[in-house]
Amino acid sequence: MQQTSAATHSVPATSPFKGLVVVELGHSVAAPFAGQIFGELGATVIKVEKHDGDAARSWGPPFQDGASTMFQALNRNKQSVVCDLRDAEQTDALKRLIAERADVVLQNLRPGQVDTLGLDGAALLALKPSLIYCNMGAFGHAGPLRHRPGYDPLMQAFGGIMSTTGEAGRPSVRVGASIVDMGTGMWAVIGILAALWQRQATGQGRIVDVSLFETATSWVSLIASQVLVSGEAPSRYGSGTASIVPYKGYLTADGEIVVAAGSESLFRSLARTVGHPEWITDPRFTDNPSRVHHQDALYGMLDEIFEQHPTHYWLEKLEAAGLPCSPVHDMNQMLAHPQTRALGLVQRVPDSEMNFIGLPLSFDGQRPQPRFRPPTLGQHTEQLLGQTSSHETAPTETHS
């Protein structure tokens, strides 16, 4: 089904991609996250899995409804077909499905695998010139490492993110969230949307390339811009940053708080709030470059001050002074916060006991909602490929 045909139908505000068909040759995190974004926004997403399923199905504990919560959190609003890509008959059935129905193909299989199988972008565009095909590789489509696989922690290391994360004098630290995998999924969606927009005018498809490495470099692009000027690799600053002072977290008497006094007026307000107005005229602290140069002295004094009182005391004083600040929440505190609830960020998946974080956007004040639960392995194989899966299937739902 073509993107242009969807314009003739009434499309709900939160389902702008209704009528779009996406085939996901994906596993783990990056491609499934991209597919889920499309699915959450109304597209029909067909997930192609091997006979033992996406490896993420076993990434637990915890598990819920027969699969890891990590898999369930990345694969709602999809249909699942099992296809042995080494079997010519099954692969031909998949190619027919793509030629007849697909607008978009996402793939993050092992480098070179789709070329061997005749499922690469050039081969599929020859079958269907209007297809948008997105490669989601590890190191990108060119260069000496283009054939190597990769995973989020490897790319946080290779892309420089880990070198900037953690405390000075201590080992590098990986960002806990899968920012490279999920960021690559977001860039895939952005690139595909640009290609779909062009297809509206030309009718022609194209190949989109994104990669984990390129995403990692984009996350550190601000830091890299400074290095490109100075030539100096940055130190690690914990909760702080290289070029803005004071701008970091502090231990309090009962927890942690982050204060971002990133302008001259905010620094003056902070100095008065913590009882040291003389800092305003101190030559070491008169402007941000001076404070950066003398940050050890300034942070040493602020650390001692913030430890004297509990977090709620500081939040009240700082907020009253108009100073940007935040407690350091753990996951349970974030999920239970009234702001999280007011935005409806935690969503119940229909026909299940599953709750997940929804997409971080709204249309006319409405956040897209999950339409149906993650599929069981091979649930839609017979329906979509005309083949019987060896796996137990749940009742299917008819989708556009």
How far, in Å, CA of 327 to CA of 258, rounded?
6
Give 27's contacts (C-beta < 8 A, 6+ positions apart): 49, 54, 55, 56, 108, 109
pLDDT in tens, 364-384: 999 999 999 999 999 999 999
| pLDDT for the residue numbered 393 | 40
Q: How is 120-170 classified by DSSP, letter by letter? A: SHHHHHHH-TT-EEEEEESS-SSSTTTT----HHHHHHHTTTGGGSS-TTS
How far, in Å, CA of 372 to CA of 79, rounded?
10
Mean pLDDT, residues 382-389:
79
Please indicate, yes or no, whether the overall pTM of this predicted structure exceeds 0.85. Answer: yes
Bridging pattern class, strands 256-260 and 247-251: antiparallel
Active centre residues (catalytic): 181
| pLDDT for the residue numbered 388 | 57
pLDDT in tens, 101-145: 999 999 999 999 999 999 999 999 999 999 999 999 999 999 999
Joined tokens for residue 334? 């974030």
Radius of gyration of the chain (CA): 25
Is the model's pLDDT at 192 over the cut of 50? Answer: yes
| pLDDT for the residue numbered 69 | 96
Give 368's contacts (C-beta < 8 A, 6+ positions apart): 14, 15, 40, 41, 42, 358, 359, 361, 362
The H or E element containing residue 193 is helix 179-202
Which domains, ranges and CATH numbers included, belong to the chain?
3-219+346-385 (3.40.50.10540), 247-251+256-327 (3.30.1540.10)
Joined tokens for residue 103? 């607008």
Joined tokens for residue 166? 């953690």
DSSP state of 234: P
How far, in Å, CA of 96 to CA of 94, rounded?
5
Is the model's pLDDT at 179 over the cut of 70? Answer: yes
| pLDDT for the residue numbered 387 | 66
